[in-house]
Amino acid sequence: MGDAEIKNELSEYSLCDHCLGRLFGKFGHGFSNAERGRAVRYCMKNNVGEMKEEDIKRFSKLEKKISVNCYLCENIFEETEKFASIVTEKMRKYEFSSFLIGSKTDREIIEREEELWEKLKLKFYEQIRSELNREIGKKVEEETGKKVNFSNPDITAIMDTRYDNVTLQISSFFMYGRYKKLVRGIPQTKWPCKACRGKGCEKCNFAGKMYPTSVEEIIAAIVMEKTDGYEHFFHGMGREDIDARMLGNGRPFILEIRNPVKRYFDMSKMEDEINNYAKNRVEVSNLRTSDGSEVVKIKDAMTEKTYRVVVMFEKPVNKEKVKELENAFPITITQRTPLRVAHRRADKYRKRKVTDFRVESTDENPTFIIKGESGLYIKELISGDNGRTVPSIAEMLGIGCKAKELDVIGVEYGEGIERT
């Protein structure tokens, strides 16, 4: 459709500056739709020929035109200050540095807009919701001093213009750190009762869980109180057995808090408060804020772990033979899914590298320092797990044995994850 025909068609509609400019929204740069609309209106009224970008520059500052009743938006852009105030009031109780605006409008407005695009065969239009989001966002920026963030906002506000109602989507608060588990018998995360699946029953004393507490719950107790969040999730770089301690430099983790009201803290004080609350059960260090992308890195990280294991043999063992074990390493072993976890993990064969093996003591219950890649089952490396791990310490010595005490004393991983 030519310019003359478009002008004739548009003359049939009462349109506000915003809606008129939005029909040509991708024509010309650096102008608001309202400015563009005023320029288009002037060109139409004064029979200017083909409109060029310089025309928009010349005529964009003309007097604002308010339709008695805009055919497309029903003068919704005259309410952007009201919408911005509703959004600002709703966000007032939250701590945030960035936000993003979304909106819902009457379906009839969308349909009228789409019909006009089709009728005029327009190519440079912009959707009404895009402009509405932008105009409300500008006013919220003015009211709050916070900035719009399109990629990772702290708060996304969805303004329903039909009912003057706003819904907030609060981004999670993420906290990175390392934890040590100083006692045995505590799982890393909350362990729901197997009998009632967390509902509470006689078996779990109506607690809904198998163990009184966990590393996650101990750390989260303080952080939930500080953030006033709704719920928490624990993302660890692997996990140790319940009966193992986590010592050394600690295990990397990220604690995620959903729907936090507060999100800015002195992490040094947070660290002290968590450690005081943990009472020598758990200890955290290196706390800092994080984000969702780092959770993926934590989960996908290739790690090497170092263990200290005290071994109990079925009968006395020659100390020299124990010491000679060091000569068998490094080695690659084959491990079938251990019997102790076969009920919850796929039955597979896995190749795992044991990169270092040292005998720390040759007492009645020798102590070994073992280093291996992620996914290595240490207890089964010792016992052989009825032939499911080959070779094993039991096989090498020809004597049945098992891990009496196990500690993780080091977690190492590739660069690009831990920041200072």
Whether residues 165 and 209 fall in one domain? no
Please report whether residue 162 resides in a domain: yes
Integer-rounded Cα Rg, in Å, for the chain is 32
* Final residue in a domain of this structure, among 170, 196, 216: 170
Q: Are 408 and 307 in contact (CB under 8 A)?
A: yes
Whether residues 135 and 10 fall in one domain? yes
Residue whose structure tokens are 């196990």:
406
Whether residues 262 and 293 fall in one domain? yes
Cα distance between residue 393 and residue 325, in whole Å: 8
Whether residues 166 and 20 fall in one domain? yes
Cα distance between residue 329 and residue 357, in whole Å: 6
Give the CATH number of the domain where residue 308 resides. Answer: 3.30.70.3190
Q: Are 98 and 146 in contact (CB under 8 A)?
A: yes
Give the CATH number of the domain where residue 263 resides. Answer: 3.30.70.2510
User: 212: helix, coil or strand?
Assistant: coil
Please report whether residue 419 resides in a domain: no
With the CA atoms of 143, 145, 151 and 153 taken in that order, what torsion angle do they form, in degrees rounded to the nearest 10? -80
* Final residue in a domain of this structure, among 230, 265, 298: 298
Whether residues 13 and 140 fall in one domain? yes
Whether residues 147 and 119 fall in one domain? yes
Please report whether residue 278 resides in a domain: yes
Whether residues 11 and 156 fall in one domain? yes
* Final residue in a domain of this structure, among 281, 298, 315: 298
First to last CA, the chain: 60
Please report whether residue 316 resides in a domain: yes
Cα distance between residue 87 and residue 49, in whole Å: 43
Whether residues 227 and 339 fall in one domain? no
Cα distance between residue 329 and residue 353, in whole Å: 10
Please report whether residue 86 resides in a domain: yes
Please report whether residue 418 resides in a domain: no
Of 212, 191, 211, 193, nearest to 202 by C-alpha is 193
Whether residues 161 and 230 fall in one domain? no
Please report whether residue 187 resides in a domain: yes
pLDDT of residue 159: 98
Residues tagged active-site: 241
pLDDT of residue 109: 95
Sorted by sequence, the CB contacts under 8 Å of residue 212 that are 6+ apart come out as none
Cα distance between residue 203 and residue 195, in whole Å: 7
pTM for the full model? 0.87
Whether residues 327 and 286 fall in one domain? no
pLDDT tens by residue, the chain, 420 residues = 555 666 677 778 889 999 988 888 766 667 788 888 887 777 777 665 555 555 454 444 545 555 568 999 999 999 999 999 999 999 999 999 999 999 999 999 999 999 998 888 877 788 999 999 999 999 999 999 999 999 999 999 999 999 999 999 999 999 999 999 999 999 999 988 888 988 889 888 888 888 999 999 999 999 999 999 999 999 999 999 999 999 999 999 999 999 999 999 999 999 999 999 999 999 999 999 999 999 999 998 889 999 999 999 999 999 999 999 999 999 999 999 999 998 888 999 999 999 999 999 999 999 999 999 999 999 999 999 999 999 999 999 999 999 999 999 999 986 444 443
The parent domain of residue 214 ranges over: 173-298
DSSP secondary structure letter of residue 209: B
Give the CATH number of the domain where residue 137 resides. Answer: 3.30.2300.10
Q: Are 315 and 399 in contact (CB under 8 A)?
A: yes
Whether residues 144 and 216 fall in one domain? no
Amino acid at 357: F
Q: Are 221 and 277 in contact (CB under 8 A)?
A: yes
pLDDT of residue 66: 55
Evaluated on CA atoms 397, 401, 405, 411, the torsion sign reads: positive
Structure tokens at 377: 């089952």
User: What b/e readout covers 313-348, taking b as 16+ CB neighbours within 10 angstroms?
Assistant: beeebeeeebeebeeeeeeebebbbbeeeeeeeeee
Whether residues 244 and 381 fall in one domain? no
Overall number of domains in the chain: 3
